[in-house]
Amino acid sequence: MYRLQEIPPRLREKMKEIKVLITDVDGVLTDGGIILDDSGVEYKRFQVKDGQIIPFLKKFGLLVGAVSGRDVDVVKRRCEQMRLDFHFHGVKNKLGLIADLLEERGLTLAECAYIGDDIIDLDVLLNVGVSAAPRDALPYVCDKVDFVCSLPGGAGAFRELADTLLHVRGNLDEALRSLDIA
C-alpha cells in the first residue's frame, strides 16, 4: 500500500497537537469520479481501508469527521457506516463551519488536521494546524499543504494520513499491539 513517510521535526510537533481529523469526501475518500445511472442515482467507490482506522483514531482521543461540498445520500450513508463523530454535506463555507464546530467543542484550528484536494478546501487547508492532500490533488493545493500523501484520493490517502498521525503520536504501534500482530 505505502510506507510511512519521514516527517520533518516541525511537522511532527504540529501532528502531536492534533485533536480532530476532518476529511473532504470527493477526491479524498473517493477518486473524485461520479457514476450516474439513467435514473439519476449517484454511485461512488470508497476505499474500505480508510474506514478501518476510524475506531483506532477515536480510541486514542481523536475526533473524526467529514465536510463535503456536495449533498449526496450515498456519502451520508458511508459516513454513517464509518461511524464518524460528525459529517456535514452541501457545505460551501467549509472554514466557517469547521471554525464554529471546533469552537463549540473548545478546540482551535491549530488542533485540527484536514485533508482536501480542491479549490473549495484551500481556505481550510491554509488555516488548520496540519493540512494534507492526496497525491493526485490539484497542483496548487499540493503546493500549499504540510503533507502530500503518497496515495491518491479513493486509494487510501485518508488512511495514510491517519496512520501517520497515529505513528507520530506513538499510537500506531500500540494499536497493532492491541491486536496481537505487532
User: 37 a known binding residue?
Assistant: no
24 assigned ligand-binding residue: yes
Tell me the C-alpha distance between 161 and 50, whole Å: 10
Distance CA 78, CA 24 (A): 13
Annotated binding-site residue? 143:
no
* DSSP structural state of residue 55: H
* The three cell numbers locating residue 115: 485533508
> For the purposes of burial, counting CB atoms within 10 Å of the CB of 170, is it exposed (0-12), middle (13-18) or buried (19 or more)?
exposed
Strand partners, 20: 63, 112
Residues at the binding site for substrate are: 26
Binding site feature residues:
24, 26, 117
Residues tagged in the binding site annotation for Mg(2+): 24, 117
